[in-house]
Structure 1
Amino acid sequence: MTEHQNYKPRIADIALQAGVGTATVDRVLNNRPGVKEKTVQKVMAAARFLEQSGGRPRVIAPTAAGLNLRAFLGGAPGFANEILGRALRESARMHGVPLALDFVKRTDPMALAAQLRGCLEDGTSGVIVQAVEHPFVRDAIAELITRGLHVTSVLTQMPGLDGLGYIGLDNRAAGRLAGQILGLLCGGKGEIAVFHSDAIYRSHEEREAGLRSVLREDFPDIRIVETISTDDNPNECFRRAQQVLSKHPDLTGLVNLAAGNRGIERALLDSGRATELTFVAFNLTPLSRKALVERTMDAVIHQDMTRIAEEAVTAQIAAHQGKVLPGKMIPTELILRENLKDASNF
């Protein structure tokens, strides 16, 4: 008999180890419903760890005393940004770092620039931002860095600013992946429509560049017949998708490089062509997961928001401790109907 064979961890210890409440642990251990499968696995893993080690939960001591974070994401929040926002809060909580989160209207760079400069006066020492590509925002970030604040850009890059870290996809490579899967699913020929978001974010420009490059190189018989700006608005996506479907009866595929997928799905369903056309989108959410299951959507190019959040927070902690502010490219995930169960965050 080993030393820890009869050790039974307490509910409070399992909760602390897993980072959940005691009521959640009680529901899991007693097989009661209402807990997400991912949380169930986390609780069971914590219980196994404590039982096998015979130890107490590992408490992560605050590693960055005096670090106060602000995070700014594009809003109004959609599903993907809500997931990232929750992950940022959770990662900061686990590291014992205070974090205030704001969603800033993505079409108002002056407002974002003003809020960024406000960090110089409110005790903020580190900033995580989804930066729109605009001179006002670029200048505000440069000023923060010059004044000694640590700034990390997430989801979208802003090259040319010394000291600005980046956590997210290689978006040009992600766009090439979207083009490759679209080209293959369309059989290498036909007409497609591309939806984007006014090029507010460099990430969307990079995705479109990657998409066009792979289509040009590998699928010369696929023709882009419409490039449509939607401002990430599902209603605008619906209206414009309806127009495209009506105008191009021979359309074979659509790709959305931004948000607003619900509107495109609705237009496809209303047209009766949902299972006939190829639809590729970005970022797995509860709604895009449902669309994959129902075959309204064929593929999702995904980025792990939990990993992005954790990398962004730990980068800020490293910078606060005097280390080099690291950047990190997150692997691009291709999610199809048959590997949904393996998708990160879900």
Structure 2
Amino acid sequence: MARRPTITDVAEAAGVSVATVDRVLNGRARVREETARRVYQAAREIGYHAASLIGQRMTADLPEIRFGFVFHKERQAFWQAMRAAAEAAVQAAPGIRGRAEFAFATSQAPSEFARLMKEMARRCDVLAATAVAHHDVTEAVTTVQDSGTPCFALLNDFAQGVRHSYAGLNNLKAGRIAGQMLATAIHKPGKMAVFVGGYRWHGHELRETGFRSYLREFAPEFSVLDTMVNLETRQLTYEATLNLLDRQPDLRGLYCAGGGMEGAIAALREVRRPGDVAMVVHELTPESRAALADRYVTMAIATPLSRLFAETVSLMSAAAQSDRPAVPGQHFLNPDLYLPESI
């Protein structure tokens, strides 16, 4: 019969004294939060029977903050990764007892984002969302902020001047990175194409602008076709890419500035050899990782989700506990860049 872990085992696993574990467990004296967290983590890892009690002792005197998140397309791998990263950041946030709640929009309709944000604000202390740029969404953010719930924009900077802050990539710079990658990877002049999710995704428009401006400045030998809207759907992107490849035999590059890249990858696999058309996509998912490995994707520009939510949750926590008026701002993160040889 296996021996039950003891307080001595917890102390050894955490690298602290038995007395320190006792103080954490019984609340006999103040222990630094970092040390208490180390004890709690060690207790959980070795299966100590009072690990849950240690967790309760750690957080008993901490303020509770309810974090609300409104995302998009719950079943897609990227948004599932977003949720997991947000949950982990809330659980790890120092100095608070955090609880995360989530809602997912099923479409790009501004009214749906607005409704979900208002509903979420009624049951949380601070809100972060991805949403399209539209007056309905701006009105919802105004209502949410006026009710005392700070609202943060993630990935797409909606309700500028109204929302509390934006956190995500510098999308103009991301588009220029895509332009430089494709111009470098392609060795003969030709045409390039761009997909955006929709004209209400301000971040996609910024990426397109950065992409086109880089090529105008440094690679004028390439011509960029009219931008195509794919509504971030796989099937529409697949059909549009097949049609594009048929009509434009000299297509050299493809930039998927938003979602729906799975359809473009499927179309290229069907009618082109690896490398015939260089492609840059956003986010590292199982599909884009496989396409990088097979050389159908030249580069994936990824949002560093762990960093995004560690920093965003810290900003949200500060906003939820502050009585000062919000000063709208932007918080940019450098992207993670993935090439076929780096996965």
Preserved CA contact (<8 Å) 1:183 1:189: no
Q: Please give the alpha-carbon distance, in whole angstroms, between the structure 1 residues aligned to 2:184 and 2:61.
A: 48
Q: Does 1:109 align with 2:110?
A: yes
Q: Does 1:279 align with 2:279?
A: yes
Residues 1:20 and 1:200: Cα distance change in structure 2 (over 3 Å)? farther
Residues 1:139 and 1:64: Cα distance change in structure 2 (over 3 Å)? farther
Residues 1:10 and 1:176: Cα distance change in structure 2 (over 3 Å)? closer
Aligned to 2:245: 245
Q: Deviations over 1:298-335 (max 9, x none)?
A: 11111101111122211111112217677421112321
Aligned to 1:337: 340
Residue identity opposite 2:208 in structure 1: E
Shift in Å, 1:232? 0.8
Preserved CA contact (<8 Å) 1:15 1:22: no
Residues 1:62 and 1:264: Cα distance change in structure 2 (over 3 Å)? farther
Structural mapping, 1:130-169, within 5 Å: 130-158=130-158, 160-162=160-162, 164-169=164-169
Q: Does 1:17 align with 2:41?
A: yes
Q: Please give the alpha-carbon distance, in whole angstroms, between the structure 2 residues aligned to 1:233 and 1:263.
A: 8
Residue identity opposite 2:13 in structure 1: P
Aligned to 2:223: 223
Q: Please give the alpha-carbon distance, in whole angstroms, between the structure 1 residues aligned to 2:140 and 2:283.
A: 28
Q: Please give the alpha-carbon distance, in whole angstroms, between the structure 2 residues aligned to 1:107 and 1:159.
A: 16
Residues 1:150 and 1:195: Cα distance change in structure 2 (over 3 Å)? same
Q: Please give the alpha-carbon distance, in whole angstroms, between the structure 1 residues aligned to 2:276 and 2:282.
A: 20
Residues 1:115 and 1:159: Cα distance change in structure 2 (over 3 Å)? closer
* Number of residue equivalences: 301
Aligned to 1:128: 128
Q: Please give the alpha-carbon distance, in whole angstroms, between the structure 1 residues aligned to 2:85 and 2:61.
A: 19
Shift in Å, 1:14? 7.6
Shift in Å, 1:132? 1.0
Q: Please give the alpha-carbon distance, in whole angstroms, between the structure 1 residues aligned to 2:271 and 2:61.
A: 55
Q: Does 1:297 align with 2:297?
A: yes
Shift in Å, 1:157? 0.9
Q: Please give the alpha-carbon distance, in whole angstroms, between the structure 2 residues aligned to 1:164 and 1:199.
A: 23
Preserved CA contact (<8 Å) 1:64 1:97: no
Preserved CA contact (<8 Å) 1:230 1:236: yes
Q: Deviations over 1:38-73 (max 9, x none)?
A: xxxxxxxxxxxxxxxxxx99x974786242121001
Q: Please give the alpha-carbon distance, in whole angstroms, between the structure 2 residues aligned to 1:174 and 1:305.
A: 16
Preserved CA contact (<8 Å) 2:14 2:42: no
Q: Larger C-alpha radius of gyration, 1 or 2?
A: 2
Residues 1:318 and 1:76: Cα distance change in structure 2 (over 3 Å)? same
Preserved CA contact (<8 Å) 1:190 1:222: yes
Residue identity opposite 1:102 in structure 2: A
Shift in Å, 1:193? 1.3
| Contiguous gaps of at least 5 residues in structure 2 | 1-10, 16-36, 48-53
Q: Does 1:82 align with 2:80?
A: yes
Q: Secondary structure at the match of 1:71?
A: strand
Shift in Å, 1:275? 2.5
TM-score (norm 2): 0.79
Shift in Å, 1:198? 1.4
Deviating 4+ runs (over 4 angstroms) = 13-16, 18-23, 59-64, 323-327
Q: Does 1:118 align with 2:122?
A: no
Shift in Å, 1:15? 9.3
TM-score (norm 1): 0.79
